């Protein structure tokens, strides 16, 4: 899965992965993160997620990274924000009122780009990637994050034989394999959500579990 795949999805507005509402798990479980007010939160593969607005409303600063220039433009335009656009290394940096999106490739991020981040919210990154890229993603994320950063992670689990991703099924054993060497992995919730997701039922799924984890550095 290359960058062209995501550019094409945004160009043709094939963005069923975008949630118009604030993620309910974010609202329910963010309070379990030990992140002080005025901290900066990293949102990888952020798209134009309104979750970033919710985080900002909690007196948090936000840095997202997104490969699609369409998604970045739409986030600011649709929310009535007028960003200042500058260059930051390999990225275009779009910034307005404590919200920053680095437009470019996640894998080009360096530790310096996220050095001031105190937490991570990952709703749509790990599940957006096929298995080989998930391994690379998790390795790169843990390599660049400051050592004390907690992660709130949301995944989906289903029978991958029933549906082609994305979103991809990411089982708990895989999450633990990626992160347990460095983080204590606590599952906060596991919920069958297929009844609330008719589109996935139409694609052939017979069960769809959402799982929420908090990852705390050891």
Residue numbers in the known binding site for S-adenosyl-L-methionine are 10, 45, 66, 123
Structural tokens at position 112:
């310096």
Measured distance CA(126)–CA(103) in Å, rounded = 18
Binding-site residues: 10, 45, 66, 123
Tokens of 211: 């799982």
Distance from C-alpha of 168 to C-alpha of 156, rounded to nearest angstrom: 7
Tokens for 123, please give them. 């709703």
- Spatial CB neighbours of 30, under 8 Å, sequence gap ≥ 6: 55, 58, 121, 152
- Please enumerate in sequence order all residues whose Cβ is within 8 A of that of 31, keeping only pairs 6 or more positions apart, or say none: none
56-119-78 Cα angle (round to 5)? 30
> What tokens were used for 38?
């005025």
DSSP, collapsed to helix, strand or coil, labels residue 194 as helix
- Segment 84-92 long-range contacts (CB within 8 Å, at least 24 positions apart): 88/113, 89/113, 91/65
Residues 6+ apart with CB under 8 A from 115: 146
């Amino acid at each position: 899965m290359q960058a062209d795949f995501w550019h094409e999805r945004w160009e043709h507005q094939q963005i069923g992965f975008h949630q118009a509402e604030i993620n309910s798990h974010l609202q329910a479980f963010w309070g379990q993160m030990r992140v002080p007010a005025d901290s900066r939160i990293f949102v990888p593969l952020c798209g134009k997620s309104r979750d970033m607005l919710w985080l900002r409303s909690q007196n948090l600063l936000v840095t997202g990274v997104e490969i699609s220039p369409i998604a970045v433009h739409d986030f600011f335009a649709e929310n009535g924000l007028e960003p200042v656009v500058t260059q930051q290394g390999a990225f275009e940096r779009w910034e307005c009122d404590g919200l920053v999106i680095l437009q470019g490739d996640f894998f080009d991020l360096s530790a310096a780009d996220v050095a001031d981040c105190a937490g991570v919210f990952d709703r749509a990154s790990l599940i957006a990637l096929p298995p080989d890229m998930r391994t690379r993603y998790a390795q790169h994320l843990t390599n660049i994050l400051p050592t004390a950063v907690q992660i709130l992670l949301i995944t989906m689990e289903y029978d991958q034989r029933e549906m082609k991703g994305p979103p991809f099924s990411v089982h708990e054993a895989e999450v633990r394999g990626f992160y347990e060497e460095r983080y204590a992995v606590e599952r906060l919730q596991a919920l069958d959500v297929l009844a609330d997701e008719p589109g996935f039922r139409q694609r052939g799924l017979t069960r769809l579990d959402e799982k929420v984890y908090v990852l705390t550095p050891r």
